[in-house]
Amino acid sequence: MNPAFVLVHSPSVGPRTWAPIKSRLEAGGAATIMPTLVGVADSGPPFWRVVSQITREAIDQLPADQPIVIVAHSNAGLFVPVVVTSAPRPVAGCIFVDAALPSLSGPTPVATPELLEFLRPKAVDGRLPQWTAWWDDEDVAPMFPDAEVRRAVSAEQPRLPLSYYEELVPVPPGWDSRPCGYLLFGPPYDAMAREAAQRGWVVEENAGQHLHQLVDPDTVTRTIVAMSASWRSSARDPDGG
């Protein structure tokens, strides 16, 4: 059985960032689910546990014997280890798309000290502005194909609590015993792509901005499918066995 794709969006944004890829995967005959993590903003810590629960419940809707490929964008990459180890279906592989990487061992901080220093003055009553409001417009506008898509994506962005970025995400051992790959769009995630290569992962590049899946969904979809093609016959059970 071909694997289903589990598209995990960053909790900083919303599922619309994956919607064009979902529609193209499904048009190509691939089962695809897109868990909605917007409610994580209101869940309270530990936020990683809520991400794990939501993705598990979404994956549980698939046939019992259908393996999955987890595709995570941006800081959703940090949650891949807990998603893998809680998944109720065999995980054939994981693709990190312009994403942060979990630590090789030990818990992973959601934000660096430098990012926390940048964010703390922005918090009001413990909540941050929407992600696109953190940056200047000249940096934000090129990430979107047009103003309509920008409005739709921006409208569903949550206002995450600062405590979300202060959290440590556990990294269960053995989560990366299945194939992993990295799809780079561009800086500053090129450093992550180099680290992925050092881990022995396959690395591909579709040059663009951080939300390139919205700008060129056809190319991004083809790359994701190609990266996962060799994993279709090598699915392993969720605990890496």
Q: Could you give the angle at which helices 217-229 and 19-27 cross, rounded to 10 degrees?
A: 60
Nearest Cα neighbor of 87 from 110, 64, 105 is: 64
Rounded to two decimals, what is the model's pTM?
0.94
pLDDT beyond 60 at 220: yes
pLDDT of residue 237: 42
Query: Quick one: tokens of 138?
Result: 């000249």
pLDDT of residue 64: 84
Q: What is the mean pLDDT of residues 78-86?
A: 97
pLDDT beyond 90 at 137: yes
pLDDT beyond 50 at 235: no
3-state secondary structure of 204: strand
pLDDT beyond 50 at 241: no
Q: Which residues contact 147 (CB under 8 A, 6 or more apart)?
A: none
pLDDT beyond 80 at 234: no
Confirm if 24 and 5 have CB atoms less than 8 A apart. no
For residue 80, name the pLDDT band (cuts at 50, 70, 90). very high
C-alpha dist (Å) from residue 109 to 76, 90, 114: 12, 27, 12
Write down the mean pLDDT value for the chain: 93
pLDDT beyond 70 at 206: yes
pLDDT of residue 115: 96
For residue 35, name the pLDDT band (cuts at 50, 70, 90). very high
**Which residues on neighbouring strands pair with residue 95, listed in sequence order?**
71, 181
pLDDT of residue 147: 95
Q: What is the mean pLDDT of residues 185-190?
A: 96
pLDDT of residue 238: 40
Question: What percentage of the chain exceeds 90 in pLDDT?
Answer: 89
Confirm if 58 and 33 have CB atoms less than 8 A apart. yes
pLDDT beyond 90 at 173: yes
pLDDT of residue 14: 96
3-state secondary structure of 133: helix
pLDDT of residue 231: 81
pLDDT of residue 225: 96
Q: What is the mean pLDDT of residues 190-208?
A: 97
pLDDT of residue 232: 66
Can you tell me the distance from the alpha carbon of 170 to that of 222, in angstroms, rounded to the nearest whole number?
A: 32
Q: Where are the alpha helices (DSSP H) in the chain?
A: 19-27, 47-59, 80-86, 113-119, 137-140, 147-155, 162-165, 190-198, 212-215, 217-229
Q: What is the Rg, in whole angstroms, of the alpha carbon atoms belonging to the chain? A: 17
